[in-house]
Every structure is written in structure tokens, then in C-alpha cells.
Structure 1
Amino acid sequence: MDKPLKTPPPYPIASVDHALRAATILQMEGGATVSQLAERLGVARSTAHRVLAMLVYRDFAVQGEDRVYRAGPVLELAAHSQSLVSRLRAAALPHLHRVVDLLDETTSLLVRTGDTARFIASVECRQTLRVGSREGMVFPAHRTTAGLLLLADLSDEQLEEVYAEDRYRDRPADRPDLARLRTELRRLRRNGFAVNRERSERGLVAVGVPVRDTDGAALAGLSLSMPSVRYDPHRLQSLVTALDTAAQALERDLAEQG
């Protein structure tokens, strides 16, 4: 089994986490008011206001005349990226909430950029022992459930380009074994889903399915994450069915949006 990539710090600093998540929201989605950010972070408006004030001071955010905070010069957000991520996230959130209501496990939406997978939306479950929000976090694509599903949609030539050796000259240990990866991706294509057992984070199991566009290409990945002590392999098919149902509903919504 691969060594887990990320382990939460033993002494997390809530204020730092709030600031980082706020900056990510502004970068990916284009803007938020104090009230909107407070709701997203699960904090009081006064706390959200202090976080935003510090981001403005350090040029991570700017406040417009409409009182909306947006990404500042440090973040250098590309407008086209904002549009795509914002549209995907807005369409996906109701479906993520429905999966959480049904299964009571944290649910997320991820997209792939090159050899990385990024969480663009995450809804936490209500259980005391749970996987926290991963929104804004970036992992190597081959170490995440959704990332693997999105890689499985590539041709052999495209996969070779993503993992070209010259891109890993300074970090050869980060490049996966392509022969082994291809074998795994073929299996995922047949199955139509992926299971990640502590591959990205210790103590975490995730199950995922692809979200496809109208041409059938994998656009994003929908995943369900839970503590490994709560994962029951006998429930796998029911978990996949629930995720497939949500993914298909999201696909219909995206198709209607054009």
C-alpha cells in the first residue's frame, strides 16, 4: 500500500485554517460577502470580518464598492478558471448535500489539472467522527479516488504526456509507475468507480464515481469519504449506487445549463 500523502497536523490552528479556506474561496469562486463567508466557514460574522481584514491587509483580497470581497493581486486568479469552477460548484452543492443527508458521510467534488486533483466543493457529515472538509486542497491525481477516475478517461498518449519524465526531473519519486497505473486505470474503467483505502490520508477511505459532460467525457469526480474504521466493504455497492444517482442528476443539471 502507498504511504499516505497527507496527515492533518496534531495541533491545528483554527484562525490559520479559516484564513486559508477564505483565500481559496475567493480565488476559486470570485467573491463573497462577510455573511456568505461566515456561513461557508461556519464562524460568526465578526470572525469572518477579521479574517477578511487580514487578507486585505496582506493583498490576498480586495473589497469592492459593493462590499463584496474578491481575490487580491497575490492570488492572481485566471478569469476562465473562476467561471468553470464556480459553475461546477454551484451545480454540485445541492447534490452533495443530498448524498450527505442520505449516507451521513462527507462528500466532495474534484477536478483534475495536469497531474493534480483539486477539491472544489465539500460538504461535511454530521457524525462526531468524520472526515473534515477538503475544499481547496490539492493532491496528486493518482493518489485520490476522483483523480484516478479522471485519469482513467485519458488515452495512453495523454497519460504519457501528463507524466512525462522531464516534468519530474527535480522530484522523480513523485512520478508514479506508469505500467502499474495503466493496469489500475483499466480496472477502474471496467468498474466505473474507485475505492481509495488510506492512499491519500491515513485513516481515510473514499469511494468515487465520475461526472461526465454531454459528450461522455469525465468532467469531475464525486467522492464520499469516511474514517476507515467505519468503512464496510459489504456496503460498497450501495455507496456506489447513491453516488451514481447523484452524479447523473448533476450531469442533467449541467446539460440544462448548456
Structure 2
Amino acid sequence: MKSVTRSLRILEAVAQHQPVTVGELTKMFGLPKSTVQRTLVTLNEAGWLRANRKDTTRWEIGARVLAVRPAALQGSSLFAAAREPMIRLRDTLNETIHLSVPDALQSMVVVDRVDCTHAVRTFHAIGDTSPLHATATGRAILAHLPKADIDELVEHGLERFGDSTPTDDGQLRADLARVRADGYSVNRKQYRPDVCAVAAPILDEDGTPLATVAASMPESRYDEQRVPELGRLIADAAKEIAARRNGA
């Protein structure tokens, strides 16, 4: 295995099995322990890997890995198309606006953010990830994926993050049906305590969900009666972003 290829494969293995030990990686690849250790140290020095805080003998992916995809997207047509509508949406709502993309069925990744002016506001760093089933952004994507993808997600289990997190098949599918009917998704403390959000999907010309635009806010500013209005404004912004991306 050439050194670059070996490093990439070890990086992929850590991402899949993290937190993982040198010994476990040695068995996976059949390489000398010293070779694996040296590769891990090199990737750590470059910011791609880090030692687990609770157990420093185990390795996990570092912040640079999470930053790669957002950085790559900054020159993309999606990123360029979304920026102005996001700013206008922030100015209208005065809430934090996020642009997120799916990482297969693994997570949603925040790739851009426009902050509101409130002293108390939600915060998601660029590169932050969140589960699809427990968030407005994730369910906005899931609602437009094939049934086989939703089946696969359910089979892997739906982790509970709060009392209202959808953790069973029927609950999730009912929510996704509402998202398709309404054109937007709502999250009220289903992932993070005291954080609410409304999100809408950005669809490709063939209906494939590419990304989401969302407004997030502390629960103290969440108004159930305003949700339909917020949903319409956010869905309109998502449609504008899609049209701008497609050159319409």
C-alpha cells in the first residue's frame, strides 16, 4: 500500500469505526503497529485526526475533515445561489439562517450561516453535523428521498435526543408526509434543548433534494401561530435558491 493510499484508507477506517485504537486498525489492515501509529500521528499533526478526549488511546476524525465539504461548496453554484436569498430571509425574520447539505444518510452538514442581530440566538458552526431524523433540515431532505432510503435509516435505529424526537417508524413517516404536504419541516426541541427551527428543501430539477435552508431560534422566540408564515417564507427562499442555481 503506497503511503498516500494507506493514509486515506486509515482515515476512512477511523471515520467509520471511531473511536478506534491502533491495535484495531492494525488488525484491519494487517500492517505493523509502528506503521499505523506513524500514519495516525501524521494525520493528527495535519488536523485530520485527533485523540479521543475521554480515552487518548483511541482515535477519531478531526475538525479539518468536517471543514472540507463546506469549504469545497463555497465555490459551488449552490453556495453562490443561496447567499443573497439567505441574507434577505435573515433581514425579514431576524433569526439565524442556515444552509445545510446531506452527507448521504449519515447526517446534515452546515455549510453556510447568516446570523441574526438578537443577543440571544442559536449557533451552529460551519461544518457542524446533525442527524436527519431529529432535525427540521434532515426531515426536509428525508421527505423527498426514496422509500428504500428511509427504510435503511429506520433499520439502523432512530436515536432519541429529547422527549419529542421521532424514534419510531410510524411517527417518522407521518412527520415526513406532513413535510411533503406543507412544503416545510418543523423542529421543536427534537434535537437540541430549547432550540427550534423551520426548514425547507432545495430541490434539483428532477426533485432530488440537494440541500435545505432553515431558520433557527431559541424556544423563547418560537411562536406556533407564526409557523405557517415562516414555512411559506422559507419555502419561497428555497425555491428561489433552486431557480438561481439552475439559471432560471
TM range (shorter): 0.5 to 0.7
User: Please, which of 199, 208, 214 is the counterpart of residue 223 of structure 1?
Assistant: 214
User: Please, which of 236, 241, 246 is the counterpart of residue 250 of structure 1?
Assistant: 241
The one-letter code matched in structure 1 to 2:153 is V
Match of residue 96 from structure 1: 86
The one-letter code matched in structure 2 to 1:101 is D
Pairing 1:1-258 to 2, within 5 Å after superposition: 58-60=45-47, 75=64, 83-84=72-73, 86-87=75-76, 88-113=78-103, 114-165=105-156, 176-256=167-247
User: What CA distance in whole angstroms lies between the structure 2 residues aligned with 1:246 and 1:189?
Assistant: 17
User: What CA distance in whole angstroms lies between the structure 2 residues aligned with 1:120 and 1:79?
Assistant: 10
Contact 1:106 1:133 survives alignment (8 Å): no
Ranges of 4+ aligned residues in structure 1 off by more than 3 Å: 73-86, 162-165, 171-176
1:225 Cα deviation from its structure 2 partner: 0.6
Cα distance change on mapping 1:79 and 1:131 into 2, 3 Å: closer
Q: Counterpart of 2:133 in 1: which secondary structure?
A: helix
User: What CA distance in whole angstroms lies between the structure 2 residues aligned with 1:112 and 1:185?
Assistant: 16
Contact 1:116 1:140 survives alignment (8 Å): yes
Q: Counterpart of 1:150 in 2: which secondary structure?
A: helix
Based on CA coordinates, which of the two structures has the bigger radius of gyration?
2
1:60 Cα deviation from its structure 2 partner: 2.9
User: What CA distance in whole angstroms lies between the structure 2 residues aligned with 1:117 and 1:156?
Assistant: 19
User: What CA distance in whole angstroms lies between the structure 2 residues aligned with 1:194 and 1:176?
Assistant: 16
Deviations 1:138-178 (A, max 9, x none): 1111111010011111222221223434xx6xx98799422
Contact 1:104 1:127 survives alignment (8 Å): yes
The one-letter code matched in structure 2 to 1:255 is N
Contact 1:123 1:133 survives alignment (8 Å): no
Deviations 1:158-207 (A, max 9, x none): 21223434xx6xx9879942232112211211111111101111111101
Cα distance change on mapping 1:163 and 1:86 into 2, 3 Å: farther
Cα distance change on mapping 1:76 and 1:226 into 2, 3 Å: closer
Runs (5+) with no aligned partner, structure 1: 1-56, 62-72
Percent identity of the aligned residues?
Answer: 29
User: Please, what is the CA RMSD of the aligned residues?
Assistant: 3.2
Cα distance change on mapping 1:86 and 1:131 into 2, 3 Å: same
Q: Counterpart of 1:209 in 2: which secondary structure?
A: strand
User: What CA distance in whole angstroms lies between the structure 2 residues aligned with 1:172 and 1:206?
Assistant: 19
Runs (5+) with no aligned partner, structure 2: 1-43, 49-61
1:86 Cα deviation from its structure 2 partner: 4.2
The one-letter code matched in structure 2 to 1:230 is R
The one-letter code matched in structure 2 to 1:58 is E
User: What CA distance in whole angstroms lies between the structure 2 residues aligned with 1:180 and 1:234?
Assistant: 23
Q: TM-score normalized by structure 1?
A: 0.63
Match of residue 52 from structure 1: none
1:74 Cα deviation from its structure 2 partner: 8.9
